[in-house]
Structure 1
Amino acid sequence: MRSPITGMAAGVPFTALPPVGNGPAPLIVTWHMLDAPRSDAAFAAALPMNDLPAWRVHLGMPMCGARMVDGSMAAGLELIRKDVLMSALHPFVQQASEEFPAALASIRAQLPVDDGPIGVLGGSLGGAVALRILAGTEIPVFAGAIVNAAIRMRSVVDLFPGDYPYDAESEKTVDSLDFVAAAGTIAGRAPLLVVSGELDHPALRADALDLVDALGERSELLSIPGLAHPLADEPGIEPAPQLPLAREVDAGLTTWFRRHLADAGRRSR
């Protein structure tokens, strides 16, 4: 396989994996987890989707990877301790979503990707970004996929210790990140693969099943026996050998996107 390409797209760090062959190819964009793998380079190693005839451009989430403060996750963890929803989860998703259109334009300027619809993929909190691109933008998408995703942000907040002190503003914010409620919009945008580890946090697993039910025929569930929430071993910042369960996820994603790349190609002819 060709070596990864690293760079910046409108201020967003990326790790790009080229397809085999020359000439313009379709584009699939990903957003990584805050659990391991917690950087664009590590996510690219965990889920490379090497057999796809498409560019896979893995974007860095805010305050992760090349955007860590002083080379560590400490600053991000401090934001979580300060206010998990309003200082960390929501701002990270909001920033990653809002910076994406400019990053996409920069990727298209830097890499030989075609100008057709893109694929989107997100893991954990990155899944909320992918879902927000589907639910809240008009960027053309041929297919999406999420892995152990933050589908209802209220469920993610509940994973942290203590009872979160919701007020009117935070209630509105957390409800805006409930993508089961946005299923009608998402279903109208693109088909979605929902990958869920059978050992993921029970609430996240339940949300995955609810989203598939709400999306109906526009979605597909891929359950991975034995998979908990992370896709890589700690510390999850640098690229690492692909774990066997991540290889199963990778194979399912490759099959999904290959199928819909073929469908997109037929529609464009």
Structure 2
Amino acid sequence: MYSTSAAGVPHVLTPPSSGRADAPLVIAWHLMDAPRTERAFAAALPLEGLDAWKLYPGLPLSGERFPGEDEFMGAMFAEPVLNGHGAINAGALAELPGLLDEVRAEHGIADGPVAVVGGSAGAGIAGGAVVEKLVDARAAVLISPLVQLRPVVDLLARQFGMDYRWTPESEAVADRMDLVWRAHEFGSTPVRCIVGGDDDLDAFLYPSGRLRDMLREQGSRADLRVVNDMGHALAEEPGVEPAPQTAAAREVDALAVEFLAQCLELA
């Protein structure tokens, strides 16, 4: 396992067990909840048994790039869409091409099959990488996924006692990040959504079901798996450092590996 930085992006890279340079590459973005760093996410979701390169990028404003609790929360309370979710999503997508170029060159990774994985905000980035055609993904696994921003902002507003007022600028960000509305842009990429049975229905479970239904209507392969007794997070707090894998994360990992192995023809 390599933990380093390329194109200014901290990341963890795990080589395939076979050592094949032409093994598939899986890119996996972490949550803003626990596990909230690339190192913690690699421990929680190691994609055990999948013979692939596994690249875990750190999100902007997270991990080594976290500006500090006071500065981050102040910016989020001031404007959670433009300063928070929108900025993190757009920043991660913008830095992906440079990250891939440097990592492939440094480690001799062949330009082979790619799949994407993400948790919560990271799932929004994984889906965004597909619809923006930044990668030609053979599969996408979206965990506790942020596939529609508006209900997530509504949830955060209730939790923090905020009265969020949408503006034309933030509405444009929500439209760009609405993967249900943009379902047709997934093309033929198979998608598996994995949601905790104890997660918020309006913000995460129902939107995941709508995305699955929209993808199926256009003839794409899509399913939704619900993990009982799991909330939104995949690790115990604080979720910054690698920690023992929880039972729920182990189940999520197995569901992700099953789907990826089939789609990448590694089964």
Q: Which TM-score band applies after superposition, normalised by the shorter structure?
A: over 0.9
Residue matched to 1:129: 125
SS state of the match for residue 249, structure 1?
A: helix
Q: TM-score, normalised by structure 1?
A: 0.92
Question: How big is each residue's C-alpha offset from its partner over 1:24-74, in whole Å with a ceiling of 9 and x where there is no partner?
Answer: 1211001100000000000000000120110111000011112123xx444
Residue 180 (structure 1) aligned with residue 176 (structure 2)? no
Look up the match of 1:42: 40
Is it true that 1:242 corresponds to 2:245 in the alignment?
yes
Aligned length: 258
Counterpart secondary structure, 2:156: coil
CA distance in 1, matches of 2:184, 2:142: 17
Partner of 2:110: 114
Matched, 1:13 2:7: no
**For residues 23 and 174 of structure 1, what CA distance do their matches in structure 2 show?**
40
Q: Secondary structure at the match of 1:164?
A: coil
Distance 2:87 2:239 in 1: 22
Percent identity over paired residues: 34
SS of residue paired to 2:155: coil
**Could you say what secondary structure the match of 1:115 adopts?**
coil
Q: How does 1:202-213 map to 2 (within 5 A)?
A: 202-203=201-202, 204-213=204-213
Q: Determine if contact 2:48/2:254 at 8 Å carries over to the other structure.
A: no
Deviations 1:78-131 (A, max 9, x none): 221121111111000000011101111111112242211311011000111011
CA contact under 8 A between 1:197 and 1:225: conserved in structure 2?
yes
1:145-156 to 2 correspondence within 5 Å?
145-156=141-152
Tell me, yes or no, if the aligned pair for 1:16 and 1:56 is still in contact at 8 Å.
yes
Moved beyond 4 Å, runs of 4+? none
Structure 1 position 21, deviation (Å): 2.4
Structure 2 portions without partners, runs of 5+: none
Is the Cα–Cα contact under 8 Å of residues 141 and 189 in structure 1 kept in the other structure?
no
User: How does the TM-score come out when normalised to structure 2?
Assistant: 0.93
Separation in structure 1 between the aligned mates of residue 19 and residue 177 of structure 2, nearest angstrom: 39
Give the C-alpha shift of residue 260 in structure 1: 1.1
| Unaligned 5+ runs, structure 1 | none
- Partner Cα separation in structure 1 for residue 196 and residue 249 of structure 2: 10
Aligned residue for 1:66?
Answer: 64
